[in-house]
Amino acid sequence: MSRFLTSLQIEQIGTDRWKLLAPLQYESDFLRCTVIAPEGFVTDLLSIPRWLPITYATLYGRANAPGVLHDFCYQTNRVIYRTIDRSEADYVLWEAAGAAGPGIEAASWWDRQRLWAGVRIGGRAAWASGPDRLVVLGWDRRSRPR
């Protein structure tokens, strides 16, 4: 069963910008691996446009851990040593939103559907620009193996 192995530990570093203080680990049944967003990873948590006020009001803050994983998948286009495509990254959001873990509650089926639909409809540009937006504080991108 999919589950978060660690709690979400974050610090706000700017308007709509947060930094992971410890790795966020998630065990995915779908991907058959553990997804790890590293300490120092910078995220906006869950990107819900404020021009969708009902969705923003009902979901904001309720799926932050899945949002971090989704941001990590979008910005790296991979998990562990495996490349993933956009539909897989979006499914990980849907799966993770239904998972629980230390300090993390599972979202309802309806909320998971709204999250998934939102990223399927509005995520194309974020997927395309993801690797250029990757920021992990304390990590030198130049030392990354190519």
Per-residue pLDDT of 82-91, as tens digits, reads: 899 999 999 9
Average pLDDT over residues 103-109: 92
| Sheet strands (E) in 1-146 | 3-4, 10-14, 17-20, 24-28, 33-37, 42-43, 78-79, 82-83
Q: What is the pTM of this model?
A: 0.85
Q: Would you say residue 136 has pLDDT above 50?
A: yes
**Residue 63 confidence (pLDDT):** 84
d(CA 53, CA 58): 8
pLDDT tens for 1-60 read: 899 999 999 999 988 899 999 999 999 999 999 999 999 999 988 766 555 556 656 666
Burial of 81 (0-12, 13-18, 19+ CB in 10 A): exposed
d(CA 139, CA 91): 27
Average pLDDT over residues 88-108: 94
Which range in 39-48, 74-83, 127-136 is most confidently predicted, on average pLDDT?
A: 74-83
pLDDT tens for 112-129 read: 888 888 888 877 888 888
The CB density around residue 4, as the number of other CB atoms within 10 Å, is 22
In one letter, which amino acid is 62?
A: R
Q: Would you say residue 144 has pLDDT above 70?
A: no
pLDDT band at 146 (very low <50, low <70, confident <90, very high): very low
